[in-house]
Structure 1
Amino acid sequence: MTATTPPFRADEVGSLLRPQRLKEARAAFQAGTLDSAGLKNVEDECIREVVAKQESTGLKAVTDGEFRRSWWHFDFLAGLDGVELVSGAKAIQFAGIQTKSESIAVTGKVGFSSHPMLEHFSFLKGAVKTAMPKLTIPSPSVLHFRGGRDAISKEVYPDMDAFYADTAEAYAQAVRSFYDAGCRYLQFDDTVWAYLCSEKERAGIRERGDDPEDLKKNYAAMIAHALKAKPADMTITTHVCRGNFRSSWISEGGYEPVAEVLLGELPYDGYFLEYDSERAGGFEPLRFLPKGKKRVVLGLVTSKFGELENKDGVLARIEEASKFAPLEQFCLSPQCGFASTEEGNILSEEEQWRKLSFIVDVAKEVWGEV
């Protein structure tokens, strides 16, 4: 790992608050008063602007803010062969708030071909001037976990082993395809590992007929297969959080139940770990991080609310984390994206940029680089 290899000392998870102009364009498109070409023009303009803003903030990796998406996960998953976006599905329940009623269903053989986000990445790559373009996609585990067995056609997949194998290979093909498109920094966003740390979520898993420990093994196997396709000069990280919608969350519980597998066994290059509240537990699970091989990006700055963190408090937290893994293997980021869905979290764009600038400044102070 070098200063030019991601994850960077000051990094970000992925999604950014949608500008009002983009929100209005998407609403007009949904209402039928703006065509797809008109929407794309607005998206293109907003992405160019947000890329330039990220670069001027000092970030060394930039995203398109997920500006072409409604959801952090469903838009990508629905672009896979055999997967459809379903309207009228049961809403996702967060603490005190629900999402709109959409989900995904597996109706055919899962595969990866002609995915629209290949073009999305190519546009991002062309918009970047000084930084590294970063692409975020949901982890393969999310395709199963969100709806479970009930969302997967029993006619297409009477045997779940075949589903897991096809999904793993689809993601391996995705890794190869994004690499061929020029992507050298890819991230698998994954709420599932955090849910597996929650007693409430684990109980829910059992109620629907799954075993949490079996899921852990199946998900680890899928991810490991996908990462075997990674060329040596490509970085693939993961981001783990406990849910993020309109500044709310779903699960609670520290990383201890999954840390040995997640940090010690899965062949990721880095881990963006939520650590902005007591819901994430302590730093003790970081002891499973292999020495010298990977980086953990400490999500110590919340993306859920606008109040800026106290610098001394963040520095103290970094020092506390370094009791369990070397400081050299840490970076700093927000605990999640600022807009995992197009609705966005409850803070202003000005507050969002202030937090990203703060992360850059703290990283310079701690590591002398960003």
Structure 2
Amino acid sequence: MDAGLKREIEAKVSAGERLSRADGEALYASDDLVWLGGLAHEVRTRKNGDKTFFNVNRHLNLTNVCSASCAYCSFQRKPGESDAYTMRIEEAVRLAKEMEPAGITELHIVNGLHPTLPWRYYPRSLRELGKALPGVALKAFTATEIHWFEKISGLSADEILDELIDAGLESLTGGGAEIFDWEVRQKIVGHETHWEDWSRIHRLAHAKGLRTPCTMLYGHVEDPRHRVDHVLRLRELQDSTGGFTVFIPLRFQHDAAGDPRNRLMNQPMATGAEALKTFAVSRLLFDNVDHIKCFWVMHGLTTAQLALNFGADDLDGSVVEYKITHDADRFGTPHTMTREDLLAIIRDAGFRPVERDTRYREIRVYDGPDPARRDVPTSIDA
């Protein structure tokens, strides 16, 4: 990138002016990570100061049986496979109750597109889980699942969302987005939910008062221009609805175990530098969403800490057994982090931890790092 364009982009960022598609592509073409990180950190600090958000959550996958066969997925199983499972609602409630002592504030539920489970299973599951965990936000179902529910129920997404909200749904999840560009999407996605339906469903959810995350799966067969296009589509939708709370770049995980379900298992993963660049450019382009999350499970703890200086201001939560990634990941990422672990990691990176709820309302602001420690080199956990 020539010096003139650098100065032009710097001036836009400093003035809070919206960056263009051409700006986004130019940013991806730059390998000046220090410069990119500095720009993104300027925006991150303007929006959130030294705060880094997290929540105490758990993930629950009711079934891994799925009618889709997405090229990147090692989680899905077909009916009859030995490790396919579908929980009875009573089993899901029992597992949820086991999570209660951790003081969770959010239960995150994502599933396969089960070919024979009846639609009524899903709102009933929410109702029973809500009874079991009063006060815990139910963040459940991707737009892809809502689209699937339309198919199996004959109801519209409007009716489905109304029933799920009545059953206790507080937020959709952001999954199913992957990369919206059709050139890429047709190579990686094995279901029928594409940009038109994904955006339609989130628009409906926002109109009903739900606030949702949005995501992008990067580092597989896409080019940087596809990432820019993806973010700009979401930015335009956010201009219209204002309903996105956070943007989450998700790093594609190839399958080190060689599971043939993951047809991209030999595709190299994005490097740490590419991950940091993706966070920085996302922060700079997505000017109308307050938060950028680094999901530590998919990036590792070292990259997650560094991402906090490249535009990210959220590390997700305590998680516990995120099967969708861990069915592919063999790189030693832990299954869980305690509240104390998250506090230590955030402080070690030089930020002030803030525990939040699903809508990013602050539950507790913690003390920041000891200023004296910044003068002493400290190790970053791998």
Which entry has the higher C-alpha Rg, 1 or 2?
2
How does the TM-score come out when normalised to structure 1? 0.44
How does the TM-score come out when normalised to structure 2? 0.43
